[in-house]
Structure formats: C-alpha cells, structure tokens
Amino acid sequence: MDGLIQNPANTPPPRGPRLLITPLKHQHLDQVMEIERACFSRPWERRIFEAEVVFPHALCLAALTVPQGLLVGYLIMWLVVDEAQIQNIAVHPGCRGQGVGKALLRQGLEEARRRGGTWASLEVRPSNLAARRLYASLGFAEMGRRPGYYQPEGEDALLLNAELAWLDGPGGEIP
C-alpha cells in the first residue's frame, strides 16, 4: 500500500452508517476509484481493480451503506497458502472513524481463516497513524521494517503480522 494523502477533515459524525460487507464486484469500481483517488497520491489504476475482482486468490470486499447501497470502503486481500496478504484497504474520507475499516478488515480476516489462513501480513507507513491503530486493534504487531520502501519520498515500510487463530467472532460466510 502506498502514497497516502492525509485527510484534513477527518471528523467523524456522531453515528456510523449501517453496513453490509459483501463481495466487491465490477459494478462497484466507479465508486472504488473515487475513494482510491481521494485516499492515495499514487492510486491503483482501474485495471488493477478489474483484475483483482476476478483473481481466484483475491478476497475483495465492499462496505455498503444500508439501505442506500453506497460504497464507503473496500478491502483487497490475497490468500497465499496459509497467509492473508492485505493489499489495499480504504474508507471514504467522509466516513472514517466510524468502524468501517475495522468491520472490513475483521470480516476479511475471518473469511481468510475460514479458507485456511493462519496468519496475515501487510506493509504500512510509520506516519499512517490511523491505519496503524486499526491494525493494532486487530492484533497486528511489527515484525520488521523495509528502509526507504515508499518512493519517491523514501519513507520506510513497517511490516506487520497477525495470527488469525484468535478470530472466533460470528459472521456469515462470504460467498
């Protein structure tokens, strides 16, 4: 994950939206691209998302508001043998701090565990405190650092891992 744009207006409303976490589909990609461009200085291109939503080893989730069906966040994860690799997660700047990111990541990790995953990994900028807090809240711990990983500015990447065995919460199977 790369190229974070800080959100200066990250003030959460008092109540969060009712959410449906569901598989991310091609039909969601216009909304995905709006959020992606709002979140990252070097956003993924649309063709990458188009490939991810049909890639057999990818687990792609959307967070939709109920009943409006507006996409407010998404998660892209790869399942490689027993490892869940978090490739991308983003929440609409106007919907942050309301549990959307945590709901997406938790359901993604639970689904990865159901499919045989035992641990999860990701990279994050040390300066991305919101993301680091999210990951810490789901058991991720720092396992290493890649110096100068994020270019051109040369910020390091923190490597975080989490065991999935502790996840035993409820939640329906994601088709």
Residue 120 lies near ligand COA (rule: CB under 6 A): no
96 vs 113, which CB is nearer to ligand COA?
96
Spatial strand order in the sheet of 141-150: 19-23, 58-65, 71-80, 83-91, 119-124, 155-163, 141-150
| DSSP result, 24-85 | --GGGHHHHHHHHHHHBSSPPPHHHHHHHTT-TTEEEEEEEETTT--EEEEEEEEEETTEEE
Count Cβ neighbours within 10 Å for each residue of 119-128 and write b for 16 or more, e otherwise: ebbbbbbeeb
Known active-site residue 149 = no
Query: Active site residue: 36, 52, 135, 155, which one?
Result: 135
130: helix, strand or coil: helix
33 vs 130, which CB is nearer to ligand COA?
130
Known active-site residue 74 = no
Residue 139 lies near ligand COA (rule: CB under 6 A): no
29 vs 134, which CB is nearer to ligand COA?
134
Residue 98 lies near ligand COA (rule: CB under 6 A): yes
* Minimum distance of ligand COA from residue 5's CB (angstroms): 8
Q: Which DSSP letter does residue 150 get?
A: E
Query: Active site residue: 36, 52, 110, 123, which one?
Result: 123
Span from 21-29, 100-108, 143-151, 162-170 in contact with ligand COA (CB under 6 A): 100-108
| Catalytic sites, residue numbers | 123, 135
> Residue numbers of the site for ligand COA (CB under 6 A)?
1, 4, 10, 39, 89-91, 96-102, 124, 128-131, 133-134, 137
